[in-house]
């Protein structure tokens, strides 16, 4: 492949923000027909690099080449005109419009008098959809499609231009395994057509499955580019975090305490039925199941966001009724919610205020919020969780995903809950932070917290849980101890197969 | 620090402090145009005539930061004024004042209940209340103007016309209210919760904040400010039309937005609202002093608001114009 002109090349890119050197002399290229992974922890500079590439930021130094041509990027639209197309993690589709209208948004084919040429629009869209081998057509309303199919619409949009390079930013974050296979086929097709592909992801397994080269950023610097065939996960991880990572499985070595939370025959309408389980102090109970199996809904019920239709919740042996998060918190239940930005944080607020929000009524000096006490709490959890931020005044919205999640964790740990529920603790978070959060969860159990971890990632559940509750379609299908669980029987249990069900 | 004067920094500075810069420029401009502008009597006069609007803006700041609107304050102020004038003659000023506050707070509680607990859209609720309270006022007064019978024999005019150590009472009350509410918003747990509810109501709920209660309280605060404004208005002339507060809701909102409170909620301060109020007041005064017609102020006010809103979003995206929202 050497000697070929790259489809896209960034050379010596420097970008500084007040107080931060976000990109420090970063060079990167992608050849036609190559899949080049861009990896790095959150905050390593990946997003900044892509924003420079899309013209959202102007670099302080460095140049961008499309083919042989040096270019100055001013907007994502201009980049698209040059054949550089972005497919974002967060979708930007008009849900009320049809697939065809979305795909050709802003450039609908016209007939005379400016009328839209619907026949041509639908034909061209169906042609592109045909390449993608999807199960919907040009006339479908985007809002009716699954998230995976919406992602396909984004990709179809990219294919309307003669793309030279396509950037996939965490494309599989919300896809099922089957849907991923389709996506990888599409990527294979693109590469066969000579398109250069930049693939940003935290998921090693995918990186090793589909990429040709891997480039790693750390602290805004380019730490190396390696051929995928000549490296392994450990080496790449080490490049990313600058140290070795302990991925060994964690099993509890401490004594379990009393039952902190006991749930008996809990039901909530159609969402889940007859759910029974208990969590002891010092124990991590993992909830695993497909999306829609009712896991998050159980957490929301325990946290007072939903009223149960039947059943009983006992805390330390006492039957309780929880009508609101306010009640739940007063009873010592904390929930680290699934949607960090939507439910976990007030993005426009600073780090400290976010962290102390649930206890702001208790941190008083006279009628006022006690500044010093607040800063003390922030400092304590910043150190304990290794939160990287210039200071407590920083707006949470400016932090990387991993650091944001740590703020949410700090917020709930500082409440010293007796039951801590963590829903998708590491969604969209880099490997380094992920391992830190897993270790933290184990530490918490060792300190006597009763912890519930809800996750869609099997390795995560297997890694942190003492026991695993497998859910299928709103019911507990089986409960495993860490000794009896295997990947196989866990998958069977969440798919509704229960031939070896144990009472 | 070569980066100190980069374009992004300048835009950022303008967006953060643009309102103060604009204020300074106006003061300088009007001072050059007319040497009476900075005369102490003129300055005091402007602040005094802004005090009623200002008090209402203080309360509305809470409502706006909590992510809602209050368009009912104008007609609610008419209501307070008419009620206190009427009760003055019926039960005497000492009882009339608490009675009027009670009735105004009841209106605020009703709005707070609808918006906070029933979660109805605040624009619809308060626009409806604008009209409903106007009707209530007219019903109460029978459509007539309200006057105190014995204007010479009451101490009630102290609220509108009194002075303490040379400073007009309306200014003192405005300053006191601004100080108390400013500290409440910036320093107390309640203030923190107002920002959280407006910044991200869902996250606030997930943090155990009782959102309905916070919104409800904001409307109570707004009603309290309106009642105080009504008291001053009544004391100023000891008589009033039914429509004395008409149209003020938009001026109040303009002052709050000028001060930089976000209509999306979650941002704004009392101090900046006070600046917004003063800017409106001084601009209106300055335009008159330089000899422009009174009506011009409506156009100029609008232009300034547009500029303020533009700078606000420009600051958030880091440039003056952007192809993406």
Which tokens hold the place of A324?
């609101």
Give the separation between CA A237 and CA B129, rounded to whole angstroms. Answer: 61
CB count, 10 Å around CB of B313? 14
Q: Is A64 helix (H, G, I), strand (E, B) or coil?
A: strand
Residue B187 touches partner A, C-beta closer than 8 Å = yes
pLDDT at A401: 81
- A393 lies within 8 A of chain B by CB: no
**Contact at 8 Å (CB) between A201 and A175?**
no
Distance from CA of A75 to the nearest CA of B (A): 7
Confidence at residue A1, expressed as pLDDT on a 0 to 100 scale: 45
B203/A77 touch (CB, cutoff 8 Å), yes or no: no
Contacts of A229 (CB under 8 A, 6+ apart): none
Question: What CA–CA distances, in Å, run from A328 to A51, A265, A449, B151, B210?
Answer: 41, 19, 16, 58, 12
CA distance B261 to B70: 14
Burial (CB count <10 Å: 0-12, 13-18, 19+), residue A166: buried
- Residue of chain B whose Cα is closest to the Cα of A371: B187
Chain B residue with the nearest C-alpha to that of A303: B206
CB A445 within 8 A of CB A252: yes
Residues in chain A within 8 Å Cβ distance of B188? 367-369
The two beta strands, A165-169 and A84-87, are parallel
Nearest to A259 by CA among A314, A301, A319: A314
Tokens 């009209």 label which residue?
B131
Q: Which two tokens stand for residue B249?
A: 């809701």
With an 8 Å Cβ cutoff, is B207 touching chain A?
yes
Nearest beta carbon to residue A349 from set B188, B195, B206: B195
Mean pLDDT, to the nearest integer, of A320-333? 95
The sign of the torsion formed by the CA atoms of B128, B130, B133, B137 equals negative
Identify the closest residue of chain B to A365 by CA–CA distance: B188
| pLDDT of A500 above 70 | no
Distance CA B37, CA B285 (A): 8
Q: What is the pLDDT of residue A248?
A: 53
Kindly give the interhelix angle for B40-65 and B211-237, rounded to the nearest 10 degrees: 150
Which value does ipTM take for this structure?
0.86
Spell out a b/e string for B33-55, using b for 16 or more CB atoms within 10 Å of the CB, else e. Answer: ebeebeeeebbeebbbbbbbbbb
Half-sphere exposure of A281 (CA within 13 A, CB side): 13
A327-341 pLDDT tens trace: 999 999 999 998 899
Per the CB < 8 A criterion, the answer to whether A419 and A261 are in contact is: yes
Asked which of A376-385, A397-406, B219-228 is least confident by mean pLDDT, the reply is: A397-406
Residue A144 has pLDDT above 80, yes or no: yes
User: Any idea which of A160-174, A265-279, A465-479 has the lowest mean pLDDT?
Assistant: A160-174
Contact residues, chain B, for A22 at CB < 8 Å: none
Share of chain A above pLDDT 90, in %: 45
- Residue A443, H or E segment: helix A431-446
Closest CA to B56 of B280, B308, B285, B230: B230
Handedness of CA A452, A457, A463, A468 (dihedral sign): positive
Give the pairing of strands A419-423 and A196-200. unpaired
> Would you report the helix, strand and coil content of chain B in percent, each value rounded to 5?
75, 0, 25
Closest CA to A132 of A111, A160, A108: A160
The pLDDT of residue A503 is 36
Identify the band that residue A292 occupies on the pLDDT scale cut at 50, 70 and 90. Answer: confident
Domains and CATH numbers, chain A: 8-241 (3.40.50.300), 245-332+418-503 (3.40.50.300), 350-416 (no CATH)
Q: Which long-range contacts (CB under 8 A, 24 or more apart) does B31-37 make?
A: B33/B286, B33/B289, B33/B290, B34/B286, B34/B289, B34/B290, B36/B289, B37/B285, B37/B286, B37/B289
B23's CB contacts (< 8 A; 6+ apart) are B275, B278, B279, B282
**Are the Cβ atoms of B189 and A77 closer than 8 angstroms?**
no
* Residues in chain A, total: 503
B192 → closest Cβ in A305, A345, A360: A360
Interface membership of B293 toward A (CB under 8 Å) = no
Is B17 an interface residue toward A (CB < 8 Å)?
no
Report yes or no: B262 and B92 within 8 Å, Cβ to Cβ.
Answer: no
Contact A369 B192 (CB under 8 A): yes
Q: What is the predicted pLDDT for the residue at A22?
A: 83
**Backbone torsions φ then ψ of A256, nearest 5 degrees:** -85, 150
Quote the minimal CA–CA distance from B199 to chain A in Å.
Answer: 6
CA distance B132 to A108: 48
Most confident of A12-21, A286-295, B4-13, B228-237: B228-237
Whether residue B324 is predicted with pLDDT greater than 60 in this model: the reply is no
Residue A25, token pair as written in the block: 């002399």
Distance in angstroms (rounded) separating the CA atoms of residues B102 and B241: 21
User: CA–CA separation, B305 vs B303, rounded Å?
Assistant: 5
Residue A275 to residue A263: CA distance in whole angstroms: 7
User: Strand ranges (DSSP E) for A19-148?
Assistant: 20-30, 35-39, 61-66, 69-71, 84-87
Q: What is the pLDDT at residue B16?
A: 63
Span A178-201, mean pLDDT? 88
Other beta carbons less than 10 A from residue A292's beta carbon: 12
Structure tokens of A71? 């270019």
Residue B189 is nearest to which of A303, A330, A364, comparing CB atoms? Answer: A364
Q: Do A343 and B3 lie within an 8 Å CB cutoff?
A: no
Mutant choice from A304, A346, A422 vs B, greatest count of B C-beta within 10 A: A346
A490-499, B63-72, B253-262: the lowest-pLDDT one:
A490-499
A361 interaction partners in chain B (CB closer than 8 Å): 189
In this structure, are strands B163-164 and B167-168 parallel, antiparallel, or unpaired? antiparallel
Which segments within B40-199 are labelled E, that is strand?
146-147, 163-164, 167-168
Listed ranges A14-28, A456-470, A481-495, B172-186; the one with the highest mean pLDDT: B172-186
A234-251 pLDDT, tens per residue? 888 788 877 655 545 555
Residues counted in chain B? 325
Count of C-beta atoms within a 10 Å radius of residue A492: 19
Q: Mean of the per-residue pLDDT values for chain B?
A: 89
Q: Give the pLDDT mean for B283-302.
A: 82
Q: How far apart are CA A67 and CA A418, in angstroms?
A: 59
- Which of A324, A326, A348 is facing B199, going by the closest CB pair? A348
Q: Are B231 and B35 in contact (CB under 8 A)?
A: no
Across the range B289-298, mean pLDDT stands at: 81
Across A261-265, A412-416, B151-155, least confident range: B151-155
A16: which chain B residues are within 8 Å (Cβ-Cβ)?
3
Establish, for the pair of chains A and B, how many residue pairs have beta carbons separated by less than 8 Å. Answer: 79
- From CA B204, how far away is CA A426, in angstroms rounded? 22
The whole-number pLDDT of residue B316 equals 63
B-contacting residues of A 215-274, CB under 8 Å?
none
Instruction: Give pLDDT, residue B2.
Output: 42
CA-closest candidate to residue A58, choices A13, A11, A27, A88: A13
User: Residue A193 and residue A221: Cα distance in Å, rounded?
Assistant: 31
Surface-to-core class of residue B162, CB atoms within 10 Å of its CB (0-12 exposed, 13-18 middle, 19+ buried): middle
CB atoms < 10 A from the CB of A70, how many?
10
- Asked if the Cβ–Cβ distance from A358 to B207 is below 8 Å, we say yes
Q: Is B159's Cβ below 8 Å from some Cβ in A?
A: no
Percent of chain A scored above 70 by pLDDT?
Answer: 93
Number of Cβ within 10 Å of residue A236's Cβ equals 21
A92 and chain B in contact, CB less than 8 A? no
For the segment A201-209, the average pLDDT, to the nearest whole number, is 84
Test B209 with A357 for CB contact under 8 angstroms.
Answer: yes
Contact B225, B53 (CB under 8 A): no
The winner for highest mean pLDDT among A41-50, A75-84, A345-354 is A345-354
What is the predicted pLDDT for the residue at A400?
82
A367 and chain B in contact, CB less than 8 A = yes
DSSP annotation of A281 reads T
Residue A60 in tokens: 């302080």
Separation of alpha carbons B9 and B20, rounded Å: 16
Taking contacts as CB-CB distances below 8 angstroms, the residues of chain B near A54 are none
Mean pLDDT taken over chain A = 87
Please, how many CA atoms are within 13 Å of residue A325, restricted to the half-sphere of its CB? 25
Place of tokens 């991925």: A247
Report chain A residues whose CB lies below 8 A from the CB of B3: 16, 18
What's the confidence (pLDDT) of residue B323? 55
A349 closest CB neighbour out of B183, B199, B210: B199
The Cα angle at residue A380 between residues A376 and A381, in degrees rounded to 5: 125
Angle, CA of B213, B216 and B219, to the nearest 5°? 150
Contact B188 A367 (CB under 8 A): yes
Report the alpha-carbon distance of residue B320 to residue B325 in Å, rounded. Answer: 11
In this structure, of A447-456, B263-272, B297-306, the range with the lowest mean pLDDT score is: B297-306
Residue A463 has pLDDT above 90, yes or no: no
Instruction: Please tell me if residue A329 touches chain B, with a CB cutoff of 8 Å.
Output: yes
Residues of chain A positioned with their CB less than 8 A from the CB of B209: 326, 357-358
Res B93: pLDDT? 92
CB contact under 8 A, B200 and A326: no
Contact A342 B208 (CB under 8 A): no
DSSP secondary-structure letter at A350?
B
Contact B189 A361 (CB under 8 A): yes
At residue B11 the predicted structure's pLDDT band, cuts being 50, 70 and 90, is low
pLDDT at site A323: 94
Nearest-angstrom CA–CA distance, A420 and A418: 7
pTM over the 0.90 mark: no
Q: Beta A61-66 vs A8-17: how paired, if at all?
A: antiparallel
């Amino acid at each position: 492949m050497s000697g070929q002109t790259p489809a896209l090349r960034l050379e010596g890119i420097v970008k500084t923000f007040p107080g931060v050197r976000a990109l420090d002399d970063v060079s990167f290229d992608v050849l036609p027909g190559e899949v080049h992974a861009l990896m790095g922890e959150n905050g390593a500079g990946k997003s900044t690099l892509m924003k420079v590439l899309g013209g959202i930021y102007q670099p302080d130094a460095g140049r961008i080449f499309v083919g042989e041509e040096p270019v100055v990027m001013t907007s994502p639209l201009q980049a698209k005109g040059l054949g550089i197309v972005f497919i974002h993690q967060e979708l930007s589709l008009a849900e009320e419009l049809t697939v065809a209208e979305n795909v050709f948004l802003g450039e609908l084919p016209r007939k005379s008098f400016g009328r839209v040429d619907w026949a041509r629009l639908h034909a061209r869209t169906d042609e592109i959809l045909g390449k993608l081998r999807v199960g919907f057509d040009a006339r479908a309303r985007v809002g009716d499609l699954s998230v995976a199919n919406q992602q396909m619409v984004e990709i179809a949009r990219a294919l309307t231009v003669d793309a030279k390079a396509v950037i996939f930013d965490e494309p599989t974050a919300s896809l099922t395994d089957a849907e991923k296979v389709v996506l990888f086929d599409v990527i294979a097709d693109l590469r066969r057509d000579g398109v250069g592909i930049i693939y940003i992801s935290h998921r090693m397994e995918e990186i090793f499955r589909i990429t040709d080269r891997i480039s790693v950023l750390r602290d805004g610097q380019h730490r190396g580019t390696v051929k995928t065939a000549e490296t392994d996960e450990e080496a790449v991880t080490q490049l990313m975090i600058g140290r070795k990572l302990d991925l060994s499985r964690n099993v509890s070595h401490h004594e379990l305490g009393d039952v902190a939370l006991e749930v008996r025959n809990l039901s909530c309408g159609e969402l889940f039925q007859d759910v029974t389980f208990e969590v002891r102090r010092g124990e991590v109970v993992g909830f695993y199941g497909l999306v829609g199996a009712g896991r998050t809904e159980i957490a929301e019920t325990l946290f007072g966001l939903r009223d149960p239709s039947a059943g009983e919740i006992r805390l330390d042996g006492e039957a309780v009724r929880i009508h609101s998060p306010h009640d739940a918190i007063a009873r010592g239940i904390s929930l680290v919610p699934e949607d960090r930005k939507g439910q976990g944080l007030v993005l426009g607020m600073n780090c400290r205020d976010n962290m102390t929000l649930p206890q702001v009524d208790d941190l008083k000096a006279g009628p006022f919020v006690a500044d010093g006490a607040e800063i003390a709490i922030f400092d304590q959890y910043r150190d304990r969780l290794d939160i990287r931020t210039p200071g407590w005044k920083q707006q949470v919205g400016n932090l990387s995903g991993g650091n944001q999640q740590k703020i949410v964790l700090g917020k709930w740990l500082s409440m010293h809950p007796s039951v801590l529920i963590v829903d998708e603790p590491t969604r969209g978070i880099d490997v380094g932070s992920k391992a830190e959060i897993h270790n933290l969860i184990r530490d918490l159990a060792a300190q006597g917290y009763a912890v519930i971890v809800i996750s869609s990632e099997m390795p995560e559940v297997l890694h942190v849980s003492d026991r695993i509750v497998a859910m299928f379609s709103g019911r507990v299908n089986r409960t495993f101890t860490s000794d009896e669980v295997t990947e196989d029987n866990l998958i069977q249990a969440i798919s509704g197969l229960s031939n070896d069900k144990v009472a | 620090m070569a980066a100190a004067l980069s374009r992004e920094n300048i835009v950022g500075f303008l967006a953060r402090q643009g309102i103060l810069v604009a204020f300074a420029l106006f003061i300088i401009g009007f001072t050059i145009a007319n040497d009476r502008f900075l005369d102490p009597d003129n300055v005091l006069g402007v602040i005094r005539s802004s005090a009623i609007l200002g008090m209402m803006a203080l309360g509305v700041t809470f409502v706006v930061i909590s992510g809602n609107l209050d368009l009912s304050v104008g007609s609610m102020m008419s209501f307070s004024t008419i009620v206190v004038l009427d009760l003055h003659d019926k039960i005497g000023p000492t009882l009339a004042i608490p009675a009027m506050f009670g009735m105004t707070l009841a209106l605020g509680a009703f709005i707070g209940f609808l918006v906070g607990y029933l979660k109805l859209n605040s624009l619809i609720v308060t626009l409806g209340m604008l009209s409903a309270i106007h009707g209530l006022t007219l019903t109460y007064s029978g459509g007539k103007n309200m006057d105190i019978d014995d204007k010479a024999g009451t101490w009630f005019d102290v609220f509108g016309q009194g002075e303490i150590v040379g400073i007009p009472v309306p200014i003192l009350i405005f300053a006191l209210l601004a100080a108390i509410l400013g500290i409440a918003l910036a320093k107390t747990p309640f203030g923190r919760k107002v920002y959280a509810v407006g910044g991200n109501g869902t996250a606030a709920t997930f943090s155990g904040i009782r959102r309905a209660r916070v919104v409800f309280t904001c409307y109570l605060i707004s009603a309290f400010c309106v009642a105080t404004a009504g008291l001053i208005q009544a004391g100023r002339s000891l008589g009033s039309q039914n429509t004395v507060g008409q149209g003020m809701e938009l001026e109040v909102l303009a002052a709050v937005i000028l001060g930089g409170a976000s209509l999306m909620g979650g941002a704004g301060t009392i101090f900046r609202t006070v600046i917004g109020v003063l800017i409106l007041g001084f601009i209106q005064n300055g335009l008159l002093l330089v000899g422009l017609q009174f009506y011009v102020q409506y156009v100029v006010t609008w232009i300034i608001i547009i500029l303020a809103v533009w700078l606000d979003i420009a600051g958030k995206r880091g440039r003056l114009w952007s192809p993406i929202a």
